[in-house]
Amino acid sequence: MLSRIFHIFASILILLCLYPASGLTDESLSMADRMYDAYGVELFGFVDTRWGTRLVDDPNEKEMSLGEGRLQLELNRYFDQFQLKFKGDILGDAVLEKADVDIRDFSLLFSPTDFMDVKLGRMVSTWGTGDLIFINDMFPKDWQSFFIGRNDEYLKQASNIIKGSFFLGEYALDIVYTPLFQGSEYVSGERLSYYNPLAGEIVGRNMILEDTKPNRYFSDAEIAGRLSRRFGGVEASLYGYSGFWQEPEGMDPADGKVTYPRLNVWGASARMPLWGGICNIEAGYYDSIQDDNGNNPLVRPSEYRFLAGFEQELAQEMTGGVQYYLEAINHYDNYEQAVPEGLHIRDEYRHMLTARLTRLLMDQNLTLSVFIYYSPSDNDGYMRPKFSYKITDNWLLDGGFNLFWGKDDYTFWGRFQNNTNGYMGVRYSF
Amino acid sequence: MKLKRIILSTLFVIMMTTPLVHAEELSVDDIINRANLASYYAGDDGRADVTMTITDTQGRERKREFVILRKDKENGGEQLFFVYFKKPSDVRKMVFIVHKHLDRDDDRWLYLPALDLVKRIAASDKRTSFVGSNYLYEDVSGRRIDADRHELTQTTDQFYVLKNTPRQPGEVEFSSYTLWIDKATFLPMKTVYLDKNGKEYRVVEALEVQTFDGIPTVTVSTATDLIAGTSTLAEFKSIHYNIGLKEDVFTERYLRRPPREVRR
């Protein structure tokens, strides 16, 4: 299967390489225009290479944190009644020493009635109001890509879903059905190191996490819904989710593998203009069904999550944002009692602040930004300074750092502190 | 009562059908109102393919291509904009929706397709560059008429020349600007901005006007930054008015599913 996809990609790539030879003579028609004229297909894509290195010694991981070449192709075709889309990457990964294919989108969109859109296939989905904090967005993420300096787009993973959207007067209802749970790409030790509570220390390739994933179609399904409506300038939404923890938050004592316990999430959000900026509030209750009111030490306990944020233009071409985030464990007394001796007990409340500063320079061709997560209760954090420079409309140069710190090894950001890295990338888009 | 209505509607018809009104009969407010309607409220709705070519000091060019859809909620009042980006590649398929208000800050949303993310954008400063060009947000969606004091300084055969001074000088980078408004079409053909020292620093100029569906429309214009030495050429194509755009095109639904009207 993989080799066949490679073959298709390779053929398209060869075609693309041959094309500019004739395309150069007529500058008014780009390759994409020709493709569109000949077949009615929109064709886009990019080639991207990026390299990163660890800035902190980690005996269990390679010094190289990122090393890859990537080709993305996107093909769209609009028909009268529907739209067909394909977007996929082929990737040569020097860190894991393997090649990979990542289908980012392969979907069909149509509207059976005036008030309904249906999208089915593989795609990225997002909702919620947080800036790089997700409460009610239970769609798969790839934090590993985010931590090593891939483009932000790769924070979201594509998944196989059916999405129905209903537009009834002022209300919009979205239902996303995932026939088979996918889960997020988590830090397993293979590429990035993490704190393993059983080992009691930061481990990496010497102790790669093994998980048992729900794998039965339809019975291990997920369903997520959002009902939203606008009241003047205020956008309000209600959310519901039934499925599993997106990361392995449970453990099977029989084989020592991590598991994905059942989870329901109920939440709400609002976003509105305020004081010349944008303010957002979001809350959710994570009902960890198998936690037995906090008495089950093998499953992450139920939690309340809360977020409030504000973003504003601080000066011309400069935007700043701040957020406050809270996680509160439900039935904390039970949880505290249940944690086996020798294991670290989480605080009842985890507080976190984030700050973002984005500055556009040189006619918006240079973007400098920094995003900081900082938890005063865990005494840890993660900082992402970044630049990206558009050399021309086609060439983009970017780079940055992923800086983790923590007083303790076992806290949320502290557990990644041996992964601090820097990276650079260059991309040619067509 | 009935008579009053007949007189009023007769007056209205006369007003609407009189092609050229003499300058003496038009007040400054009339001129600026008609210029505002001619440049930003043509038809009840409309579409255009826009190409912006930005030239920097070293002569390097960057191109922006987008489709713009507009719908007026009322003539001279609230408006809805839908901007669908086609080029360059890093912004392709991004969508920018603006709900323009007169009594408060506009509502703005930006859709990032790669992340399927609908971002809401603070819209406090309208005098920021639009997509890195020499055009500002305010050039695209219009500046509030009551933000400036207007003064008719000259009437030539072809133009009304208006000097405009901001009521809140601290909120803008100019000290005043002068408009050359075409007497026949009421389209502003040239705008020259003076900086705080009274020096010319920015010029926006209409280079070509064509008539579509009976509506005179600027099809080529430039914006030049005289200090930085950069300029932007804007070309408008596939212009259509009164195409029957529905209001729901300007909502989140169509961020994810661009309407038929924006496709090639």
Residue listed under structure tokens 């991207």: A48
**Does the pLDDT value for residue A145 go beyond 70?**
yes
Q: How far apart are CA B140 and CA B122, in angstroms?
A: 17
Q: Rounded to whole angstroms, what are the CA distances from A181 to A242, A268, A285, B12, B33?
A: 11, 23, 20, 65, 59
- Residues of A (347-406) whose Cβ lies below 8 Å from B: 360, 363-365, 390, 392-394, 396
Please list every residue in chain B whose beta carbon sits closer than 8 Å to the beta carbon of residue A152: 114-115
**Per-residue pLDDT at B263:** 75
Q: Are the C-beta atoms of A270 and A280 separated by less than 8 Å? A: yes
- Residues of B (39-58) whose Cβ lies below 8 Å from A: 54, 56
Here the tokens at position A21 are: 């030879």
Q: Bridge partners of A310? A: A279, A322
Q: How far apart are CA A266 and CA A285, in angstroms?
A: 5
- Indicate the burial class of B138 (C-beta count within 10 angstroms; 0-12, 13-18, 19 or more): middle
Phi, then psi, of B133 in degrees rounded to 5: -95, -175
Within 10 angstroms of residue B146's Cβ, the number of other Cβ atoms is 10
CB contact under 8 A, A167 and B253: yes
Q: Is A317 on the interface with B (CB under 8 A)?
A: yes
With CA atoms as reference, the chain B residue closest to A274 would be B122
The minimal CB distance from B105 to the residues A124, A276, A390 is found for: A276
Please list every residue in chain B whose beta carbon sits closer than 8 Å to the beta carbon of residue A235: 120
Phi, then psi, of B125 in degrees rounded to 5: -100, 110
Short-list B44, B127, B120, B176, CA closest to A278? B120
Cis peptide before B259 (omega within 30 of 0): no
With CA atoms as reference, the chain B residue closest to A280 would be B120
Over residues B66-82, the mean pLDDT reads 95
- Among A176, A272, A278, A428, the residue to mutate for chain B (most B Cβ within 10 A): A278
Q: How far apart are CA A172 and CA A115, in angstroms?
A: 9
The alpha carbon of residue A111 is apart from the nearest alpha carbon of chain B, in Å, by 10
Q: Is B116 on the interface with A (CB under 8 A)?
A: yes
Please list every residue in chain B whose beta carbon sits closer than 8 Å to the beta carbon of residue A166: none
Strand-by-strand arrangement of the A258-259 sheet: A211-212, A258-259, A250-251
ipTM entry: 0.89
Q: Is A123 on the interface with B (CB under 8 A)?
A: yes
Contact pairs from chain A to chain B, CB under 8 Å: 95
Short-list A192, A195, A244, CA closest to A343? A195
A31-39 vs A2-23: helix crossing angle, rounded to 10: 110
Phi-psi region of A336 (alpha: psi -120 to 50; beta: other; left: phi over 0): alpha
**Does the pLDDT value for residue A380 go beyond 50?**
yes
Q: For all residues of chain A together, what is the average pLDDT?
A: 92
Q: Using 50, 70 and 90 to split pLDDT, how confident is the model at B17? A: low
Q: How far apart are CA A301 and CA A290, in angstroms?
A: 8
* Rounded (5°) CA angle A129-A74-A224: 35
CB contact under 8 A, A365 and B89: no
Q: How far apart are CA A229 and CA A236, in angstroms?
A: 6
With CA atoms as reference, the chain A residue closest to B129 would be A363
Please list every residue in chain A whose beta carbon sits closer than 8 Å to the beta carbon of residue B62: 365, 390, 392-393
H/E element, B3? helix B2-17
**Does the pLDDT value for residue A238 go beyond 70?**
yes
Please list every residue in chain B whose beta carbon sits closer than 8 Å to the beta carbon of residue A126: 115-118
With CA atoms as reference, the chain A residue closest to B121 would be A278
**Per-residue pLDDT at A7:** 56
Short-list A68, A421, A177, A172, CA closest to B257? A172
Here the tokens at position B107 are: 């509502």
Helix (H, G, I), strand (E, B) or coil at B60: coil
**Does the pLDDT value for residue B21 go beyond 70?**
no
CB contact under 8 A, A153 and B120: no
**Per-residue pLDDT at A78:** 87
Q: Are the C-beta atoms of A271 and A226 separated by less than 8 Å? A: no
Long-range contact set of residues A250-258: C-beta below 8 Å, sequence gap at least 24: A250/A290, A250/A298, A250/A299, A250/A300, A251/A298, A251/A299, A252/A212, A252/A298, A253/A298, A255/A212, A256/A210, A257/A210, A257/A211, A257/A212, A258/A209, A258/A210, A258/A211, A258/A212
Short-list A426, A425, A420, CA closest to A65? A420
CB contact under 8 A, B253 and A276: no
Please list every residue in chain B whose beta carbon sits closer than 8 Å to the beta carbon of residue A393: 62-63, 87-89
With a CB cutoff of 8 Å and minimum separation 6, the contacts of A147 are A187, A192, A402, A416, A419, A421
Q: Are the C-beta atoms of B204 and B139 separated by less than 8 Å? A: yes
Q: Is A408 on the interface with B (CB under 8 A)?
A: no
The alpha carbon of residue B159 is apart from the nearest alpha carbon of chain A, in Å, by 33
Q: How far apart are CA B115 and CA B208, in angstroms?
A: 39
Helix (H, G, I), strand (E, B) or coil at B7: helix
**Per-residue pLDDT at A17:** 45
**Does the pLDDT value for residue A219 go beyond 90?**
yes
Q: How far apart are CA A324 and CA A353, in angstroms?
A: 5
Over residues B135-142, the mean pLDDT reads 91
Pick the CATH number of B25-258 from 2.50.20.10, 3.30.70.20, 3.40.50.300, 3.30.720.120: 2.50.20.10
Percent of chain A topping pLDDT 90: 83
Structure pTM? Answer: 0.89
**Per-residue pLDDT at B8:** 59
Bigger pLDDT: B9 vs B114: B114
Q: What is the DSSP letter of A209?
A: -
Q: Is A233 on the interface with B (CB under 8 A)?
A: yes
Q: For all residues of chain B together, what is the average pLDDT?
A: 90
- Residues of A (97-116) whose Cβ lies below 8 Å from B: 109, 111
Q: Using 50, 70 and 90 to split pLDDT, how confident is the model at B13? A: low
Quick one: A2-429 is in which CATH superfamily?
Porin (2.40.160.10)
With CA atoms as reference, the chain A residue closest to B105 would be A276
Please list every residue in chain B whose beta carbon sits closer than 8 Å to the beta carbon of residue A316: 125, 127-128
Q: Are the C-beta atoms of B212 and B237 separated by less than 8 Å? A: no
- Least confident among A3-17, A244-258, A275-289: A3-17
**Per-residue pLDDT at B25:** 74
**Does the pLDDT value for residue B43 go beyond 50?**
yes
CB contact under 8 A, B62 and A392: yes
**Does the pLDDT value for residue A5 go beyond 70?**
no
CB contact under 8 A, A363 and B230: yes
pLDDT tens-digit readout, B103-133: 888 899 999 999 999 999 987 778 889 999 9
CA-based torsion, B15, B21, B27, B32: positive or negative = positive
Number of H helices, E strands in chain A: 4, 23
With CA atoms as reference, the chain B residue closest to A313 would be B122
Q: How far apart are CA A289 and CA A277, in angstroms?
A: 38
CB contact under 8 A, B129 and A312: no
- Among B58, B124, B254, B260, the residue to mutate for chain A (most A Cβ within 10 A): B124
Over residues A260-279, the mean pLDDT reads 96
Phi, then psi, of B109 in degrees rounded to 5: -130, 145
Q: How far apart are CA B158 and CA B137, in angstroms?
A: 28
**Per-residue pLDDT at A361:** 95
Over residues A276-295, the mean pLDDT reads 96
CB contact under 8 A, B252 and A393: no
The alpha carbon of residue B235 is apart from the nearest alpha carbon of chain A, in Å, by 15
Over residues A128-133, the mean pLDDT reads 96
Domain boundaries defined on chain A: 2-429
Q: Is A70 on the interface with B (CB under 8 A)?
A: no
Q: Is B190 on the interface with A (CB under 8 A)?
A: no
The alpha carbon of residue B115 is apart from the nearest alpha carbon of chain A, in Å, by 5
With CA atoms as reference, the chain B residue closest to A42 would be B264
**Per-residue pLDDT at A29:** 66
Domain boundaries defined on chain B: 25-258
Looking from the CA of B118 toward its CB, the CA atoms found within 13 Å total 20
What does the radius of gyration of chain A's CA atoms come to, in whole angstroms?
A: 23
Phi, then psi, of A312 in degrees rounded to 5: -150, 150
Here the tokens at position B233 are: 């050429």
Here the tokens at position A188 are: 């397993």
CB contact under 8 A, B125 and A46: no
Percent of chain A topping pLDDT 70: 93
The minimal CB distance from B56 to the residues A151, A363, A394 is found for: A363
**Per-residue pLDDT at A287:** 98
With a CB cutoff of 8 Å and minimum separation 6, the contacts of B86 are B65, B66, B67, B92
pLDDT tens-digit readout, A8-41: 555 555 554 444 444 444 555 676 777 777 778 8
Short-list A234, A230, A225, CA closest to A171? A230
Q: How far apart are CA A102 and CA A71, in angstroms?
A: 10
pLDDT tens-digit readout, B243-264: 999 999 999 999 998 888 887 5
The alpha carbon of residue A417 is apart from the nearest alpha carbon of chain B, in Å, by 27
Q: How far apart are CA A230 and CA A234, in angstroms?
A: 6
Over residues B165-176, the mean pLDDT reads 94
